Amino acid sequence: MSDDYEIKLAEGRYKIIESLLEESLTKTKTEIGFSDMLDKVLLNKYLGIPIFMVLAWALFQFAIEASGVFMAIIEMTIVTLGELVGGIFEGNIIAQSLVQDGIFGGFAFILPFLAPIFLLFLGISLLEDSGYFARAAFVMDRLLRKMGVHGRTFIPMMIGFGCNVPAIMACRSIEGEKDRMISILSNPYISCGARLPVYVLFAGAFFVGMEGSIIFSMYFLGIAVAIFTAWLLRKTLFKGEPEPFILELPIYRRPTVRESVLHMWERGVVFLKKAGTYLLLGAILLWFMSAFGPSGFLGADPDVSMSFTGILGNVFQPIFAPLGFDWRLTAALIFAFLAKEIAVEGLGIILAVEGEVAIQAALVSLVSPATAIAFMIFVLLYIPCLATVGVIKSETNSWKWTLFSVVYSIVIAFIIALLAYGILVFAGFGVIGGI
């Protein structure tokens, strides 16, 4: 009742303002400026969303195509450093393996992906600084509102392209407890920067020349699942109409190199900090579990299937067998619960190869394109990382909703990956070794 009263009061105020303006304001013809012409196109109800999709596709295509040479340089540098430092410990097999295969090997699997991640963030910064992202939120509000989702949910979604943790925290700005909870529980499906190394690895191995389109499809699928989840929650657990969405559109402006690079660095440095902290710890843990087994140290060139990692992967592999995952992919998925980038580290250590190209060659000889797509989808949709679980708990203040988010994400990841795998196998993409 109070809400209806406030709405009627606001309407009355605007009617009075409108009548006063009609009496005192003289309207003159004004020329349509460049910004107005842009808005007529970018905010068009028919063209707005397709334009957003084309720009997003072009952004991913740019990040992948322009990053190749930088990735090769970074990888070669780290591998060379690993060999030099590892030579210091020659004669001590365990120490040499730890330094060369564990520490520098882990960095060699992850740090080359700084190139596409930073370039992606640079593109996002340019679009954001130009004033376009606010228009994208306005355009997407029409679609989101039809799905029963608050338009402001799109803003945390955009933040989620960098990292889901600050994106979920940004949901605090959403008024209305139901709208806020829907935004929190649907945000983890937005593909963060941590998943990008997995996409680049598998798309580059199995879909040469189509990498940008494959990666774009992963991001698009994440947005679609996030919107579907929000719609499902609105129809079941959080019934009601979303709050009105009011957004002030900033003026268009030419992005400066300094500001865009600064914003790129602010987002990308999060990945660097992770690489130097728990991604390094994850690499050491992976090395230990892959180099040791029940019988102790397995040697300089171990049979990983006999290690603790092999045992862990084989225990859970039957669950993922319908998706075409062997014990290697299964073990990588389990470790990736700590952070999605660790899936790449895990595959490198488990396959006992160095560098992106070597991992890709090994993968092509082990799994099919259908399995590759299923793996990317599963990485996309199951809970992003342990840190995300923690922030969901702190923002919802509920273990119930945290557990719901984890279980729901695993279930929906399995279902969609299984559907994609089945369709692709039926279409002839289930053959190991190529498309």
Quick: pLDDT tens for 329-347: 999 999 888 888 888 888 8
Do residues 317 and 330 make contact, with C-beta atoms less than 8 angstroms apart? yes
In order, the DSSP letters of 278-328 are HHHHHHHHHHHHHHEETTEE--SS--GGGSHHHHHHHHHHHHHGGGT--HH
Question: How crowded is residue 39: how many other Cβ atoms within 10 Å of its Cβ?
Answer: 17
Q: What crossing angle do the helices spanning 369-381 and 211-235 adopt, rounded to 10°? A: 40
Distance CA 214, CA 200 (A): 9
Give the residue-averaged pLDDT of 284-300. Answer: 83
Distance CA 119, CA 121 (A): 5
Give the residue-averaged pLDDT of 227-231. Answer: 91
CA dihedral 226, 232, 233, 238 (to 10 degrees): 140
- Predicted confidence at residue 103, as pLDDT, reads 80
Report the relative pairing of strands 292-293 and 296-297 from DSSP bridges: antiparallel
Q: Is the model's pTM score more than 0.85?
A: no
Quick: pLDDT tens for 190-214: 998 889 889 999 999 899 888 888 9
In order, the DSSP letters of 103-119 are IHHHHHHHGGGHHHHHH
Distance CA 19, CA 139 (A): 30
Q: Where are the domains of the chain?
A: 48-249+256-426
Quick: pLDDT tens for 106-153: 777 778 888 888 888 888 888 888 888 778 877 877 777 777 776 677
Beta-carbon contacts of residue 29 (< 8 Å; ≥ 6 apart): none
Do residues 340 and 198 make contact, with C-beta atoms less than 8 angstroms apart? yes
299 φ/ψ sector (left φ>0, alpha ψ -120 to 50, else beta): left
Instruction: Locate 427 and state its tokens.
Output: 């279409």
Beta-carbon contacts of residue 168 (< 8 Å; ≥ 6 apart): 156, 160, 184, 187, 188, 388, 391, 392, 395
Secondary structure element (H or E) that encloses residue 186, with its range: helix 177-186
For residue 23, what pLDDT band results from cuts at 50, 70 and 90? confident
Find, among 168, 154, 157, the residue nearest to 391 by Cα.
Answer: 168
The more confidently predicted of residues 173 and 69 is 69
> To which residue do tokens 């190529």 refer?
434
- Predicted confidence at residue 78, as pLDDT, reads 84
Quick: pLDDT tens for 50-102: 888 888 888 888 888 888 888 888 888 888 888 888 888 877 788 888 888 77
- Predicted confidence at residue 86, as pLDDT, reads 80
> To which residue do tokens 């619960």 refer?
337
Quick: pLDDT tens for 352-363: 777 778 888 889
- For 296, list phi and psi in degrees, rounded to 5: 105, -155
Find, among 365, 338, 339, the residue nearest to 351 by Cα.
Answer: 365
Distance CA 424, CA 384 (A): 25
Distance CA 321, CA 332 (A): 14
Instruction: Locate 51 and state its tokens.
Output: 């334009």
Give the residue-averaged pLDDT of 245-254. Answer: 76
The more confidently predicted of residues 22 and 27 is 22
